Amino acid sequence: MFTFLKKPAVISESEELQPNVESVDKCFLNFVDLMEKMSLLFRKNIASSSDVISHVLRQQEKFQLFSGSMEETVSAIVSINSQIAEVNSFIENLDAAVHSSSAAIEQITSSVHNVADIVSERISITKELSEAAGNGSEKVRKVLGVIDVLSQNVDAIKGVIAAINEISEKTNLLAMNAAIEAAHAGKAGLGFAVVAGEIRSLSEVTRKNAADIQKTLKSMITTLSDAHITADEAGGAMKYIGGKVQETTESFNEITSEMESLSDGSDNILASVRTISGSSEDLKNRFSSVAANMNTIVSSTESGKASFDEIKASSEQISGLMSADLFNMNDMIQCALDIDGCLAKKQQEAAAASGVPSFPFTNIILKHLSWVTKVRALIDGKLSGEGISLGDHHACDLGKWIDTQAESLGLSEKPSFKALVESHEALHSVVHDVFNNLETLSLSEREDRYATLLKKSQAVIDNLVVIRSELKTA
């Protein structure tokens, strides 16, 4: 059996290389698409990382505020605890003073009751004195009556004495006359003369006795007068004593009434002091319980603060690592730019061959993202703003492309291009705001500005994606 081999066709060198060239072109285009997708993925990662950093930093700020509040709370609680301890000390002093006052008030109350009893006894005595003064006044009055009667009797006796003196004088006169007549009668009248002498002698004795009686009566009258005066004075004194005793009795009655009120008041004060003593003891126990609870609160608050400080430190570490990773992503972007630079030569050759200017989408996106990450690094303190001079929206690579190459692609009148220019200018305005006010902006204000910057950046990239699609379909 024979096998016949077909002679192979003769293929030219150009025909042999054609499939390889097409394959390389396809691979190149695929690689360009991958670079474009990668640049957009960079944007997504930057946005996600920035959101995480912003969230963590905002939480850090809240932790900082909360930590400060907790410190103030702990300080306030410690101050309150100190004040409670001071109040507790005051209560203990008050309790001691109340106990001391209670003992003193009990003594005062006892003394008041004793004084009230003594006053009651003195009232009884003054009543007896008042009665005695009344009886004395009555007896003085009776004595005055007796003196008056005696004075009247003396006056009557004086009358009798006067009559006796008169009779004595007449008898003496008759005796003298009888003696004279007896002398005239001689012996016949001798007996009569003797009788007359006796009568005369008796008359002289009577007159003498009457004079003595009268003298005694005068002395008696003087004595009775003095006794009357003395009795009057005694009566006045007894009345005065009775009045003073009555005043004393009334004063003692008033004192008794006041002492009864004072006794009742002392009893009430003593009861109140005992109530205060019980209340102060209860209050002391309650404050001791409050102080114990406050110590527990202080301990719990300090423990919570320590936990929050740990969380804060962890969040600071996380934000620092995320910020460092985001800043390091700039190195990856630079590598991608280097790769894109190699591809750009091929794109420029293709554009030169076709006569249509190329659209450096990946290059624009990557440089724009590099710029965005540097702003993030500036906010996070990873990059110093010293020596950096910010230009306007015409000075950056995207601004230069807009000013020099966009018109050659026929983009000037497209709505997407106008939206790109507007978003790009707004983006630069936000960056200038952050750069010029970085030292005065709070953390929240910085994050708000950067969130606005990311929105403007997304708008710029979205407009670039639209422009790329429009150019591909043109």
Burial class from Cβ neighbours inside 10 Å (0-12, 13-18, 19+) for residue 19 reads: exposed
As a whole number of angstroms, the distance between CA 312 and CA 56 comes to 9
Each residue's pLDDT tens digit, 131-186: 777 777 777 777 777 777 777 777 777 777 777 777 777 777 777 777 777 777 76
Give phi and psi for 455, each to the nearest 5.
-65, -45
As a whole number of angstroms, the distance between CA 285 and CA 451 comes to 57
pLDDT of residue 168: 73
> In the predicted model, is pLDDT for residue 355 greater than 70?
no
Please report which confidence band the pLDDT of residue 16 belongs to, taking 50, 70 and 90 as the band edges. Answer: very low
> In the predicted model, is pLDDT for residue 9 greater than 50?
no
- Nearest partner of 361 among 393, 397, 386, 387, judged by Cα: 397
Nearest-10 Cα torsion for 196, 198, 204, 209: -140
Find the mean pLDDT for residues 333-337.
75
Percent of the chain scored above 70 by pLDDT?
A: 63
Q: Please state which of the ranges 126-135, 414-423, 433-442 shows the lowest mean pLDDT.
A: 126-135
Element of type H or E holding 344: helix 190-354
Each residue's pLDDT tens digit, 22-44: 555 566 566 667 767 776 776 67
> How crowded is the C-beta side of 324, counted as CA atoms within 13 Å?
6
Please report which confidence band the pLDDT of residue 1 belongs to, taking 50, 70 and 90 as the band edges. Answer: very low
> DSSP letter string over 363-396?
HHHHHHHHHHHHHHHHHHTSS--TT-----TTTS
> How crowded is the C-beta side of 282, counted as CA atoms within 13 Å?
6
As a whole number of angstroms, the distance between CA 63 and CA 428 comes to 32
Find the mean pLDDT for residues 219-224.
78
Contacting residues for 65 by C-beta, under 8 A, at least 6 apart:
none
Please report which confidence band the pLDDT of residue 350 belongs to, taking 50, 70 and 90 as the band edges. Answer: low
Spell out the domains of the chain, with CATH numbers in brackets: 17-57+317-473 (no CATH), 124-280 (1.10.287.950)
Q: Helix, strand, or coil here: 97? A: helix
